[in-house]
């Protein structure tokens, strides 16, 4: 039995104004996450990640399909399914009238757990909150509030943990401490579902990854397999100036940084030669194996091309 199962899930939102078309946020999304897996869910803004997690957490109803947590339907068996989930949301939501320890005790009470201070103390220690236990939530920085959100999600020891952009806007120290703790929980058997825009995190942590684009599943494979799809190497350098259009069409350009996919030494020399012929100087040249970010960009481009082809065929 999978830890999480998405079965032909669709989600349609009503029109935002009269005469407008409904928004289809999810289109027939299906995949399973196995017990004990560290799973990454990736996609650009508007891909449907938050809609999918909201349905999983019971905050939104699917328009079609079914979602289960350890075999429990998130709608028909909401209370039991919710007990098995710990969700860290994107938004910083907190009660300003309580301190950190009180907040975690109250959260424990929601799940009927009494005398939970030993586990609360462990959470406070591992998340760097021990010295903030008596601080009012209003007094905490944004990064500290996010640590409390993580502790709230874990306070009832859920077997399935959902992390929705857990390190957005937080410092490097918290990221490292959080990932060490989450990796430890995963080794102990907890299932982790992570969404993040920091693709290096997903590459380092997730054993399998799904990618969404415009509400559709664009890729689903083990991380190593996805990385293996990127042939050859990546040539990366900085330039001062603008690439000729024909050359720019083959590159990925971010400000002054240019990247080319290269199958070997001949490709690398070809691209550098073309840059020189354009009268440009390549600086800080790097050659490395493809990262998950490179694969992600390629998958998103393929999804766009497939959507465009389908639209032409429909027309």
Which CATH number covers residue 261?
Answer: 3.30.70
pLDDT-derived band at 5 (thresholds 50, 70, 90) equals: very high
Tens of pLDDT, residues 240-282: 888 888 888 888 888 888 888 887 788 888 889 888 988 888 8
Final residue belonging to a domain, choices 186, 210, 227: 227
Domain that holds residue 292: 231-314
Give CA torsion, residues 69, 75, 77, 82, to 10 deg: 50
186 shares a domain with 291 = no
Q: How many domains does the chain have?
A: 2
Average pLDDT over the chain, rounded to an integer? 87
Residue 155 near residue 107, CB atoms below 8 Å: yes
Same domain for 207 and 182 = yes
pLDDT over 90 (residue 29): yes
| 184 & 268 share domain | no
Mark whether 190 and 294 lie in a shared domain.
no
Indicate whether 225 pLDDT > 60.
yes
Q: At 291, is the pLDDT very low, low, confident or very high (cuts 50, 70, 90)?
A: confident
Q: Comparing C-alpha atoms, which of 214, 157, 146, 239 is closest to residue 190?
A: 157
Q: Are residues 223 and 238 in the same domain?
A: no
The whole-model pTM stands at: 0.82
Side-chain half-sphere CA neighbours of 294 within 13 A? 20
Same domain, 36 and 93: yes
Query: Same domain, yes or no, for 144 and 281?
Result: no
Beta strand pairing status for 208-213 and 191-195?
unpaired
Q: What is the DSSP code string of 141-176?
A: -HHHHHHHHHHHHHTT--SEEEEESTTTT--HHHHH
Query: Tell me, what's the pLDDT at 31?
Result: 96
90 lies in the same domain as 235:
no
Sheet with 252-254, side-by-side order of all strands: 252-254, 257-262, 233-238, 283-289
Q: Which residues, other chains included, contact 132 with Cβ-Cβ below 8 Å and sequence gap of 6+?
A: 100, 124, 140, 144
Radius of gyration of the chain (CA): 23
Work out the pLDDT band at 21, boundaries 50, 70, 90.
confident
Could you tell me if 50 and 179 lie in one domain?
Answer: yes
Shared domain check, 181 and 246: no
Of 197, 227, 257, the domain-final residue:
227
Taking residues 2-25, what's their average pLDDT?
89
pLDDT reported for residue 37: 96
Other C-beta atoms lying within 10 Å of the C-beta of residue 315: 5
| Cα angle for residues 293, 299, 301 (degrees, 5° grid) | 105
Regarding whether 242 and 147 lie in a shared domain, the answer is no
Instruction: Out of 205, 227, 249, pick the residue that ends a domain.
Output: 227
pLDDT tens digits, one per residue of 60-115:
999 999 999 999 999 999 989 999 999 988 777 777 788 889 989 998 988 888 88
Q: What is the CATH number of the domain that holds 85?
A: 3.40.50.300
Q: Count Cβ atoms within 10 A of the Cβ of residue 223 and give its class: 0-12 exposed, 13-18 middle, 19 or more buried.
A: buried
pLDDT at 312 over 70: no
Helix (H, G, I), strand (E, B) or coil at 30: strand
What per-residue confidence (pLDDT) applies to 49?
A: 92
Mean pLDDT of 230-242: 81
> Which percentage of the chain shows pLDDT scores above 70?
96
Say yes or no: 249 and 200 in one domain.
no
Q: The dihedral of CA 157, 158, 161, 164: what is its sign?
A: negative
């Amino acid at each position: 039995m999978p830890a999480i199962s998405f079965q032909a899930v669709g989600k349609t939102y009503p029109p935002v104004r009269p005469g407008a078309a409904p928004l289809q946020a999810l289109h027939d999304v299906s995949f399973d996450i196995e017990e004990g897996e560290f799973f990454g869910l990736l996609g650009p803004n508007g891909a449907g990640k938050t809609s999918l997690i909201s349905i999983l957490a019971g905050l939104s109803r699917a328009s079609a399909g079914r979602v289960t947590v350890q075999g429990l339907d998130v709608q028909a068996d909401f209370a039991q399914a919710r007990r098995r989930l710990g969700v860290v949301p994107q938004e910083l939501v907190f009660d300003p009238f309580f301190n950190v320890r009180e907040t975690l005790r109250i959260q424990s009470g929601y799940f009927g757990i009494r005398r939970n201070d030993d586990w609360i103390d462990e959470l406070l220690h591992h998340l760097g909150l021990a010295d903030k236990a008596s601080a009012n939530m209003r007094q905490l920085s944004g990064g500290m509030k996010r640590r409390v959100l993580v502790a709230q999600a874990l306070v009832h020891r859920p077997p399935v943990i959902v992390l929705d952009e857990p390190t957005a806007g937080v410092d490097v120290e918290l990221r490292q401490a959080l990932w060490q703790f989450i990796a430890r929980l995963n080794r102990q058997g907890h299932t982790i579902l992570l969404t993040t825009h920091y693709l290096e995190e997903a590459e380092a942590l997730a054993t399998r990854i799904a990618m969404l684009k415009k509400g559709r599943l664009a890729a689903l494979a083990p991380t190593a397999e996805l990385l293996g799809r990127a042939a050859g190497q990546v040539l990366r350098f900085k330039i001062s100036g603008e690439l000729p259009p024909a050359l720019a069409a083959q590159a990925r350009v971010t400000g002054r940084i240019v990247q080319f996919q290269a199958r070997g030494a001949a490709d690398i020399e070809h691209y550098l030669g073309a840059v020189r012929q354009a009268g440009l100087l390549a600086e800080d040249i790097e050659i490395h194996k493809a990262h998950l970010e490179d694969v992600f960009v390629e998958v998103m481009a393929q999804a766009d091309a497939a959507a465009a082809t389908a639209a032409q065929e429909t027309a």
